[in-house]
Amino acid sequence: MARPKVGIIGNSYLINDQYPAHAGGTMNSEAVAEVADCMPLLIPSDPRFLSVDELLETFDGFLLTGGRPNVHPNEYGEAETEAHGAFDRARDAIALPLVRACVQRGQPFLGICRGFQEVNVAMGGTLYPEIRDLPGRMNHRMPPDGTLEEKFALRHLVKMTTGGVFHQLFGADEVMTNTLHGQGIKTPGQSIVIDGEAPDGTPEAIYVKDAPGFTLAVQWHPEWDAANDPVSRPLFQAFGAAVHAWAAGERPAQGLQKTA
């Protein structure tokens, strides 16, 4: 029997600064296939090629991946500045309405880094363009040098809400995570619950309150070494369980945040 299908939201970029391409990190596919036990399929995230309705009918769940381009500030009512960085407007046009549709339908998604920010913006929230420029905040960006192991190394604690969704999922109210992002939540969107924070107060774990399905998102990168990491593994396993349930025709009751 075929495994449930997870659509991995891809990023647009140029090969050798010339050739247009869509791409997604291999570690995303590894985590979906090996830990969530689902079939990973890359989505060319551009409304010229597909529609949100087609995606909803084709896939059982979605992985909203990280990516260098940021959500355009026009999507949350702010003007573009140099600090906001590069953008992928085609991905915005797919990912943001897809999040809203999944929340309404109860169709599972897992947001990572930019995907975390997309979930907040899709629900009406706003973002800071550069966390490290805020008083009292640490630099959450990826180190510019070093091996992949060094860049994705665990760097700071995330404190979970006691008794909350992520506390129950991880079996601990504090976990160590990597940090590879420049932007972060400024104001949470409608029904967005901040369920985990870094030591400097930066939101790191969220979900959509009273959504009928799996709507978890994290600001760090759990796809790194997901099969072995004690935090990443249960997160992808829970996501996989939700996707399997959706593929089997199960529809969670309104107001229940399914994590397994």
Backbone angles phi, psi at 20, to 5 degrees: -65, 140
Rounded to whole angstroms, the Cα distance separating 129 from 25 reads 24
215-239 burial, b at 16+ Cβ within 10 Å, e below that, comes to bbbbbbbbbbbbeebebbbbbbbbb
Tell me the domains of the chain and their CATH numbers. Answer: 5-247 (3.40.50.880)
The pLDDT score that the predictor gives to residue 130 is 79
Rounded to whole angstroms, the Cα distance separating 152 from 146 reads 10
The pLDDT score that the predictor gives to residue 158 is 95
Q: What is the pLDDT of residues 9-24, one digit of tens each?
A: 988 887 888 888 888 8
Q: What is the pLDDT of residues 40-84, one digit of tens each?
A: 999 999 999 999 999 999 999 999 999 888 999 999 999 888 777
For the chain, give the percent of residues with pLDDT over 90. 71
Give pTM, 2 decimals.
0.93
| pLDDT beyond 80 at 5 | yes
Q: What is the pLDDT of residues 176-229, one digit of tens each?
A: 998 887 789 999 999 999 999 999 889 999 999 999 999 999 999 999 999 999
The pLDDT score that the predictor gives to residue 153 is 73
> Token digits for 53?
């309705």
The pLDDT score that the predictor gives to residue 69 is 87
H or E element: which one contains 93?
Answer: helix 89-105
Contacts of 128 by beta carbon, 8 Å cutoff, 6+ apart: 134, 183, 184, 185, 186
* Average per-residue pLDDT for the chain: 91
Helices within 3-71 (DSSP H only): 26-30, 52-58
- When pLDDT is cut at 50, 70 and 90, the band that residue 258 belongs to is low
Which residues are designated catalytic?
113, 221, 223
Q: What is the pLDDT of residues 83-117, one digit of tens each?
A: 777 889 999 999 999 999 999 999 999 999 999 99
Q: Which residue has the tokens 């009406």?
A: 124
CA distances, 26 to each of 35, 52, 191, 200, 224 (Å): 14, 24, 32, 31, 10
| pLDDT beyond 70 at 254 | no
By three-state DSSP, how is residue 166 classified?
helix
DSSP state for residue 102 in the 8-state scheme: H
The pLDDT score that the predictor gives to residue 255 is 43
For the chain, give the percent of residues with pLDDT over 70. 95
Q: What is the pLDDT of residues 146-182, one digit of tens each?
A: 787 777 777 889 999 999 999 999 999 999 998 887 7
- When pLDDT is cut at 50, 70 and 90, the band that residue 34 belongs to is very high
- The DSSP secondary structure of 204-256, one letter per residue, reads EEEEETT-SS---EESS-TTTTTTT-TTHHHHHHHHHHHHHHHHTT--PPTT-
